[in-house]
Structure 1
Amino acid sequence: MASITERPKADGTVTYQIKWRQDGEWQTEKFGDHPGAIQFKQLVEAHGSRWPHGWVRGVGFVEPDANPQDMPLIKWAERYISRLNGVDERTREDYEREVRIHFSLIQHTRGDGLVVPATVCNLTQDDVDDWVRIERQGEREPNNPKKWIRLPADPKSIRNRHGLLFCIIQAAIDATPQLRTVNCCKKTSLPRMDDHIEDDMTFLERDEYARVAMEIKDPDARDLADWLVSTGMRWGEATALQVRDLSLSADIPTANIQRAWKKAPKGAPETFYLGPPKTRKGRRLIALSSAQVATARRLSEGYSPEAFLFRAAMGGPWRHGNFYHRKWRPAVLAAVAKGLPKRPRLHDLRHTHVAWLIGAGIPLPAIQARLGHESIQTTVDRYGHLVRELDSDIIAAVDAAMGLPAPRAALHRVV
């Protein structure tokens, strides 16, 4: 008889070891999930306490025509991520976490219905579809349906994880020797980004922003909030601005965005560090209004070129958590208590800036350049629904068409 032993790991996860005697020697196999361990234990016992036919230790069932270079999907994903160039260590750590937590849910269902561990070669479109469904549904506790073992993932997270899986599978196709010929992620039906009731963006009218701004009592914090909503800069870009990035005497004054705050890898001496902007097109010049120029002159006067334009009470750069909890959130709560009908997040200042530009008739390509979006498609997908400047023309065209008498077929009397 085979037995199952739980083996807790240092990171809090649990693996399940199946152990049995075969020809007088102990044999073991390891699983990351309890149902898989039970299924394998039953297979071992059904085969007379022997390895199931076609099973490769650590891999699972291998089809007769399987690629000899095949390996567990998790192992291939980890290899792919470790060899990525052009990403910072924090991003690499984020990818590794996605693989560890979410890709471990991916399994392969064989033609005979048996569920086995996923490998880079046996993964199919059906397996990917099943995984997306699991991500969307989440997992409730069997004995307490009101509690979640794993919360449902939002559409954006699912799309991001699927995109990473697509690249990992594509690397197997491009490998030498080639491990696959088809990318099983190509035809996945993914959830829509707007597949929910609540809007994930809050847009403030000018008077609504003014109501929040009035509640920010710290003038330095107010300067930063005004800058964010009037430039559309990301938080990490605005707080990384230095005096040397300003060109205030030019015909069109500008701020040069060439750096942003990044989260440092775990174990680093500092939590944040200065790095390049989020995208290649994030390096950009932003035209400044007269009010912004006045603010920039006031805040930069007497400071060295390397000094940060926006400084917290102790003279250092603002940190998001500190600003949000001590300045922004109290101001929003105070405004809500006085009747503000919205609860804007700090990042909603960027969305609000875009809404104001669209309301003024600024075309989306110009907004894309100002925001630093890598693709115009990103701008269209996020903000295209706000473009309303042609509504009056559309309504006029419909009214004109409907105002014409509808053509009628001639009536003929049959004699």
Structure 2
Amino acid sequence: MASIRKRERKDGTAIYQVRWLQGGRGGDWETEKFGDETAAEEFKKLVDANGQQWPAGWVKGKGFATEQLVEGDMPLVQWAHRYVDRLIGIDERTRRDYKRDVDNHFAVMRHTQPSGLVVDATIGNVVGDDVQDWVRAQEAGERDPANPEAWLRRPASPKSIANRHGLLSAIVQAAVEADPPLRSKNCCLGTRLPRVDDGIDDEMCFLEHDEYARIAAEIEDPHARDLADWLVGTGMRWGEATALQVRDVNLIRNTVGVHRSWKRSAPGEAGPAYFLGPPKTRKARRVIAVTDAQMEMLRRRMAGKRPEDLLFETPRGKSWRHDNFWRRRWVPAVNAAVEKGLPKRPRIHDLRHTHVAWLIGERIPLPAIQARLGHESITTTVDRYGHLVQALDGEIRAAVDAVMGAGPAAPGIRRLV
């Protein structure tokens, strides 16, 4: 334990000297002087709390080092807005969503100085510990002090935290690469994030073939039934499927090209609330193989239409809107199926998850599924659906047995004996 010695001066004042063995017994004596007893007591507590070591950031005889601001430094939120405004290749809805995350989630980040003082985060002062504290705060949420049953900020899902952290990392990296640089390294590197697959079964709903059939049987409108069958049979996103046009169908190759998707206009923008734009990502532009039965349905829907007409339309020949389909077609069908014994309440997007589950059940490799879904990275496919591949355990065991010599070798596989 550190100790304090009081030394009287000739002028009647006193010096308070904090003494301790650096690192504990066996270490060298270290001392620091103070002009008042309160400051000495506070420093003694810091030494004891740091295991008989100099407190991090403390400069002997001067105190905690003052953080030097980098020229051009600015509040984190201000820099983040500048970064988002300069992004290219994204639509205005995505830009607006990024800014919403910045305002709602980045604005609460704080920087803790070596002295323990908590200050507002800037693009130059935020460090790895600040990012880790921010992640933990999102995971835990924040209760309302006046009402413990209410939330000021609800706990965020692992996927939401990962998405926000990815955006933050890109924003910080831009500061590293700025001219002149505002940082020497990216403080987001090495952050420990909650496992994305935690709770994923609660977020996704996978339907068996007969379970989907129960729902489909309750959809009376043939136009809505065609669309639901297409979503579960192709795994396409809602905005992609409802944006398909006659010209996207290749009658020779039995394929459909994904070239556009519905986008929502920003509030206050002139023009329609929805418009056709590019797909979600570069790899979302893709060609999907379809079955003979699906081609037969497409030919039926293409009859009498022009190349630029939509394939899937409402009974009145209008484009489908998600809210309309959800309230008037999907929810009534699901409710009717539940009343007859269906044990699940799937969302429309769960038809995409269901399609993947069916493909995995048929031993389709994840890279092929990635290409079909239009995922930008195989990591996304593995993170979301990798746990379903356990159905292949029998094939994996057989392959290992064949290679190791415990069973008959498969064609092209040489035993290691």
| TM-score bin, normalised by smaller chain | 0.7 to 0.9
| Cα distance per residue 1:137-162 (max 9 Å; x no partner) | 11111121101111111111111111
Mapping of 1:210-249 within 5 angstroms?
A: 210-248=213-251
Shift of 1:243: 0.9
Say if 2:265 is the partner of 1:260: no
Alpha-carbon distance, 1:284 to partner? 1.3
Cα distance between partner residues in 1 of 2:265 and 2:223: 26
Instruction: State the one-letter code of the partner of 1:91.
Output: T
C-alpha deviation, 1:66, in angstroms: 2.3
1:143 and 2:177 equivalent?
no
Give CA-to-partner distance per residue, 1:217-251, whole Å, 9 cap, x none: 11110010011111111111110011111112x1x
Contact 2:216 2:225 in 1 (8 A): yes
Deviation at 1:197, TM superposition (A): 7.4
Which residue of 1 is the match for residue 311 of structure 2? 309
CA distance in 2, matches of 1:348, 1:393: 28
C-alpha separation between the residues in 1 aligned to 2:376 and 2:219? 33
2:273 to 271, 274, 294: 271
Q: Which amino acid aligns with 2:72?
A: Q
Q: How many residues align?
A: 341
**SS of structure 2 residue aligned to 1:184:** coil
Q: Deviations over 1:298-347 (max 9, x none)?
A: 11101111111111132111000100111011111111111111111101
Q: Which residue of 2 aligns with 1:65?
A: 68
Distance 1:391 1:175, change over 3 A: same
Unpaired stretches in structure 2, ≥5 consecutive residues: 1-64, 407-417
Residue in structure 1 matching 2:112, options 87, 109, 113 = 109
Offset of 1:399 from its aligned partner? Answer: 10
Q: Secondary structure at the match of 1:182?
A: coil
Q: For residue 291 of structure 1, what is the aligned residue in structure 2?
A: 293
1:102 aligned counterpart, secondary structure: helix
Pair 367,196 (structure 1): closer, same or farther in 2 beyond 3 Å: closer
Cα deviation 1:245-293 (Å, max 9, x = unaligned): 1112x1x311111011112112123221111111111111111211111
Aligned to 2:342: 340
What TM-score does the superposition give when structure 1 sets the normalisation length?
A: 0.78
Of 87, 95, 112, which residue of structure 1 is paired with 2:90? 87
Change (3 A) 1:64 1:128: closer
Cα deviation digits, residues 357-415 of structure 1 (max 9, x gap): 111122222212111112222222222222245422456689999x9xxxxxxxxxxxx
Q: In 1, are the aligned partners of 2:197 and 2:383 still within 8 Å (CA)?
A: no
Per the alignment, residue 327 of structure 2 pairs with: 325
Aligned partners of 1:398, 1:246: CA distance in 2, in Å? 42
Inter-partner Cα distance in structure 2 for 1:130 and 1:167 = 19
CA distance 1:116–1:341, shift in 2 (3 Å): same
Identity %: 62
- 1:154-169 paired onto structure 2 within 5 Å: 154-169=157-172
CA distance in 2, matches of 1:267, 1:305: 32
SS at match of 2:189: coil
Could you state the TM-score of these two structures normalised by the residue count of structure 2? 0.78
Partner of 2:102: 99
Change (3 A) 1:206 1:131: same
